[in-house]
Each structure stands twice: as structure tokens, then as C-alpha cells.
Amino acid sequence: MTARAALLLAAVLVTASDAPKEDPVKKDLKGLEGTWRALSGEENGKKVPDKEVKQMRLVFEGKKFTAYFGPVVLMQGTVKLDPAKKPRAMDLVSTAGRLTGQTAPCIYELDGDGLKVCLGEPDGKRPTEFKADRIGQHLILYKRHKP
């Protein structure tokens, strides 16, 4: 190998190692994109009845979200993610709906077409684990809706 070829190879390797990594927030926002239907739920230590679970859905579009209960918009606004936290943190900041002006502090786990969200009371403390055994905590398991 000539000195020129070796230098060229070294330059390519250095450039490749400095390639920008995908922003974790953008990656998770992209992963959340779409409609999610609830599979099960628990609140205040009790199972949410299936009749109610079937009415719950979340829709993410970029940094925007809408939370529905049947046709009623519970919350609509912006989502802020912090995937660096363990567990991952999400704030649902409501600008419309029944909870306008409030922020729901959450933790989340995104796994392909599965989403687990544990919400705290609006404007309250963020849950630290995926349990809904305290008053004001809600644990919801969602599956991506594919039309």
C-alpha cells in the first residue's frame, strides 16, 4: 500500500467514526408517530374495565399529541421527551381539551409496536416505575394501530 493510499484510508476511517449519531429524541418521536390503541390499563391500583380501555387512544404527530377517550379529547398539545433518563421521561403539555394548561408527567417504554406509559397526576410528580398502585397514577399498555 502506498503512503498516499494509507493516508486516504486513514482519512476515511476518521471521517466515518465522526459520523453524526441519530438524536435519541428524534428517534423516539419517529417511533411514537401514529395512532396507539390501549390494550390494558390500571389506575390507583385497580384494573381499568375493558369497556373503558377500548375507548382510550393516543395519537402522535411529530411533537404534537392528542389523547382521546372515545370521541372526547382529554388532552391535546405538545410532547417533550427525555430518553436519556431511566426510565425514559415524557411530558404531555396540554394546550387543548379537558386538561388545558396542565402537564402530565410520564415515563414510557417504546418497543416497536408496543408502548407502555405510566402517568402521574397532572402537574404532579413523575412516576419512577411502571406501577399504578398509588392514587393518581395510571399505567396504560398500547399497541400501534395499523389501519
The rounded mean pLDDT for the chain is: 88
pTM of the model: 0.82
Residue 12 within any structural domain of the chain: no
Q: Which residue has the cell 425514559?
A: 88
Grid cell in block for residue 114: 408496543
Percent of the residues in the chain that have a pLDDT greater than 90, as a whole number: 73
Q: What is the CA radius of gyration of the chain?
A: 20
34-43 and 46-47 as β-strands: parallel, antiparallel, unpaired? antiparallel
Residue 127 within any structural domain of the chain: yes
Find the CATH number of the domain harbouring 78.
2.40.128
pLDDT of residue 147: 78
Query: How far is the C-alpha of 106 from the C-alpha of 117, rounded, in Å?
Result: 7
Residue 2 within any structural domain of the chain: no
Q: Which residue has the cell 377500548?
A: 54
What's the pLDDT tens digit per position in 3-58? 544 444 444 444 444 556 779 999 999 999 999 999 999 998 899 999 999 999 99
Residue 8 within any structural domain of the chain: no
For the chain, what is the domain count?
A: 1
- The CB density around residue 46, as the number of other CB atoms within 10 Å, is 10
Q: What residue numbers bound the domain in which 31 lies?
A: 22-144
